[in-house]
Structure 1
Amino acid sequence: MELLPAEDVTPSCARPVRRAIMLQGWHDLASIHWRYDPAVVQALLPDGFRVDTFDGSAWVGVLPFQMDRVRFPRLPAFGPLSTFPETNVRTYLTDPAGRRAVWFCSLDITRLITALVARASYRLPYCWATMTIEGSAAATGRPVVPGAVVSYRSRRRWPAADASTDISVRVGEAIAPADASDLDHFLSARWALGTTFGRRLMWADVEHPPWPLHRAELLRGDETLVTAAGLPAPEGDPYVLWSPGVDVRIAVPRRVRT
């Protein structure tokens, strides 16, 4: 199998989604990442996907946020089933054609039915959990104020009650687009997700505006989601960002040609 060099990281979506199968909002998002040995992260990926690196390291993130108004195009949202907190553990990959994407190690949400449907349709490792967000700007309609503290707590319930989070971040100043670093783009400008269907590699393009990013400070970072995903516990100081969020269009998953 030939693996091509990774495509460039682009702050704006390089492959617009013409026909979305799912619409949703990702709001009040904290982004907490640590460096990892690429070989350690590669062991989690299926053959054909390779870990994407920055500055010689793989990066693994814990990202809690508010999922908002999940719905199909031209249909209304599903009421309470459409808005809920989520916490995902993710890393980054490239496919044989060099396209960049997100790889989800786990996705914890508070809706059991939604978790089951997402597992069956997108073959993503959704889990059922209890979760709360305090200090949310998106939920209250308040403007984002630097210095605000947002707290995220979760406890997994299914398939195994083996992971939890207790995270608080202090929101900092907004990052002007011209001041965003290469690492900021590497971690946020991801326009696809990779998954599998049996032994087949699958790919779904994702479209949204560029992330409005803020610097952030991690005040409390207790979590066991990363080790539950099969990785060593994070070490060193994390790289922390926060965003009020974006609205997202997701395409139908398609098989990756190998």
Structure 2
Amino acid sequence: MASAHPAPGPVSPEPVSPDPPAAPMPPLLTQSWLDLAFLHWAVDPADVAPLLPPGTVPDTFDGTTTYVGLVAFRMYRVGVLGLPGFPYLGSFPETNVRLYSVDEHGRRAVVFRSLDASRLIPVLVARASFRLPYVWSRMGVERSGDLLTYTSRRRPGPRGARSRIVLRAGEAVEEPTPLEHFLTARWALHTSFLGRTLYLPNAHPRWPLHRAELVECDEDLVAAAGLPAPVGEPVSVLYSPGVRVRFGPQRRRRPGG
């Protein structure tokens, strides 16, 4: 299947780095991402290409395979323009379905196909301000010993798309594999806004990652996001206690690109 968007030019993709760009970035948004579950499945780039913003194509690992990620976590104290984060409206569970993109300047990023969140006002603001595909859902994140359970069901009604993820966090990852860096070390998002493709950078400390055992995964969020339903076990399951994050303004091209 041919890509729905033109391929990037001859600029090669920027290297995958576990550390954020060194350039200073005035924060538009600040937040913490806590108790993250990263689940990833391999997917055909041809299935991904039509779902990406114009001017981007699937970012592939080793030039052949791209991935769909199901990432569940606790958003904590979202703040704007450097102000302190909101204690209630800015703290909520979230589960997103994300893809991996690269643009004509070689800048790697993620593309969100859906973002389920349990606070209605942040959902409405994110949809209106950045055209991000947030969805209002009933959600929970619970911990019992080393087990974490993430639940989500879209409102309204009992038949909305849903997910239930249970994992057991394990030992810390001393040195992530190249694939683990590829899937987690992402320093921007691509999104479409008023006919333009935006590149919104973020920065945070290096991910503290842990191996994790997937105890249960019952979900249909990936299929609801327009992708083939995952078959079999994820190729990667990771846990992170979390990081503090800041998002900066739109950048048109990578430094030196």
Instruction: Give the TM-score of the pair, scaled to structure 2.
Output: 0.90
What stretches of structure 1 of length at least 5 have no aligned partner? 137-146
Classify 1:159/1:128 alpha carbon distance in 2 versus 1 (closer, same or farther; 3 Å): farther
| CA–CA separation in structure 2 for the residues paired with 1:42 and 1:123 | 19
What is the CA distance between 1:161 and its match in structure 2? 5.8
Count of aligned pairs between the two proteins: 245
1:26 is aligned to 33
Query: Are residues 1:103 and 2:111 paired?
Result: yes
Aligned match for 1:250, one of 247, 251, 254: 247
Equivalent positions of 1:152-167 (< 5 A) are 152-157=150-155, 162-167=160-165
Counterpart of 1:52, as a letter, is D
What is the CA distance between 1:120 and its match in structure 2? 1.4
Equivalent positions of 1:1-258 (< 5 A) are 2-55=9-62, 56-135=64-143, 148-157=146-155, 162-176=160-174, 179-238=175-234, 239-254=236-251
2:222 partner SS: helix
| CA–CA separation in structure 2 for the residues paired with 1:160 and 1:17 | 46
| CA–CA separation in structure 1 for the residues paired with 2:74 and 2:12 | 34
| CA–CA separation in structure 2 for the residues paired with 1:74 and 1:256 | 24
What is the CA distance between 1:187 and its match in structure 2? 0.6
| CA–CA separation in structure 2 for the residues paired with 1:230 and 1:67 | 25
Cα deviation digits, residues 220-243 of structure 1 (max 9, x gap): 000110000001100132010000
| CA–CA separation in structure 2 for the residues paired with 1:123 and 1:161 | 25
| CA–CA separation in structure 2 for the residues paired with 1:160 and 1:90 | 24
| CA–CA separation in structure 1 for the residues paired with 2:168 and 2:203 | 28
Classify 1:17/1:119 alpha carbon distance in 2 versus 1 (closer, same or farther; 3 Å): farther
Conserved 8 A contact 1:33-1:62: yes
Which deviates more, 9-18 or 107-116? 9-18
1:144 is aligned to none
Root-mean-square deviation (CA), in Å? 2.0
2:129 partner SS: helix
Q: What percentage of aligned pairs have identical amino acids?
A: 51
Cα deviation digits, residues 124-161 of structure 1 (max 9, x gap): 1011001001107xxxxxxxxxx711000000116996
| CA–CA separation in structure 1 for the residues paired with 2:13 and 2:156 | 36
Counterpart of 2:119, as a letter, is R
What is the CA distance between 1:3 and its match in structure 2? 4.7
2:182 partner SS: helix
Conserved 8 A contact 1:6-1:94: yes
What stretches of structure 2 of length at least 5 have no aligned partner? 1-7
